[in-house]
Amino acid sequence: MARALEPQRRLLAVYTGGTIGMRSEQGVLVPGSGLAAVLRSLPMFHDEEYARACGLPEDTLVLPPAIPDQRVIYTVLECQPLFDSSDMTITEWVQIAQTIERHYGQYDGFVVIHGTDTMAFAASVLSFVLENLQKTVILTGAQVPIHALWNDSRENLLGALLMAGQYVIPEVCLFFQNQLFRGNRVTKVDSRRFAAFCSPHLPPLAVMGTDVTINWELVRKARGKAQLVVHSSMERDVGLLRLYPGIPAALAMAGAGIVSGFDMTSEAALAKLSYVLGHPGLTPDDRKEEADAIREALVPSLACAAAHAGDLEVLQALGDLGSDLSLESFNGQTPLHAAARGGQPGAVTMLLRRGVDVDPRDEDGLSPLLLAVKGRHRGVIELLRAAGACLSLQELEDAGTELCRLAARADLEGLQSWWQAGADLSSPGYDGRSALLVAEAAGNLEVVTFLQNLKGGAGVQAPGPATL
């Protein structure tokens, strides 16, 4: 539940620039100063009568009462100079954090008015820079300036002020188009629509409509009364490289200590990297050891993905780094499983030449050979059989029903794959019938001919690895 609020809540609104306050000069939008004066002229942002009665200074405004007997008073602190958000960097975002630190004891919450181009980056950086937050910090901005007749500036700014002034949500958030997002979970998805931001892997912390709905189970809990800490020693020398189809392994992996970001946004990944590399408590050796440990933990999954895609360059790079290419991933599958499932003979050949086990079993007891059979990857089946792979007794016992199903569907390629892997095609199904009887009953003459030839010629038992 929300903490009971005082009759007056005081906020600091840090105006950094951006579209929200821009003005048109000769048809070009330029940063507009004097936002406090603009807001003072709009009744939804300022109750002039109440302000005069309280003797508030020029840079301090007060919202009309949204709740009886409760007021949100806010001071606008305008950056000098104002920034275009596309020009902002980690340095400017640390300065914003330091501004919050200087005024932390004076105000109950903070709203940062920011341009939308890099607002998701700013929110992510501030979420790492500001540690032990006990107060609400909300970033907001707009797609259309507040001076325009039809705009989203008023709705976004008023919503951010109300959220910060009425609720205690002790983390860095981003408010846009009636939704309050966790700052390091948000990304910009549109430069034209008012719904410019989304949170791909976490629902909004709050939604503002006729009522305000807050998902309190998602909101971070304040950690006691710990003092605010601002991590100003962020590493500036970091970059963002997006993966793309055909990216060379040497560009993103070899020797780089790659670490999975899991479901992080690219903005949060960059911010976290800057935070970790700039952390004074970690020596270069500490960082390297931690990166090495994480990389080894992730190698099986990386290798499986590369093997399934047949990316020999990545497999080679991992092997050259000394990674064990026979380690199991989270589901017990090895890169050989993945290569067999994906029908990648080149990857299978490379892995076998590196001496990996030809018959490993995953957590379901499946072998690479069986996965190749199910995928009808006959070139892979041949390679695995030549290396000594065999179907297990359990796999052979379970084959009868599958063989009958393939015969009923006239799936000759599937039957040939099972035969090539060493299965006995006369094995009965669950009803005691063989694949041949099922094919005859279904009138699948091509399948009948294939099975009869095997039965009357070399036999239905496939030749062993030595004859392949």
| Residues forming the active site | 19
Cα distance between residue 79 and residue 72, in whole Å = 22
Cα distance between residue 417 and residue 411, in whole Å = 10
Contacts 24+ apart (CB under 8 A), 178-182: 178/207, 178/208, 178/209, 179/204, 179/206, 179/207, 179/208, 180/138, 180/204, 180/205, 180/206, 180/207, 180/208, 180/214, 181/205, 182/127, 182/218
Burial label, 59 (beta-carbon count in 10 A; 0-12, 13-18, 19+): middle
The two three-digit tokens of residue 297, written as one number: 């933990």
The two three-digit tokens of residue 372, written as one number: 């190749």
Angle formed by the axes of helices 435-442 and 399-408, nearest 10°: 20
Q: Taking the chain, what is the end-to-end CA distance rounded to the nearest angstrom? A: 70
Report whether 263 contacts 252 (CB < 8 A): no
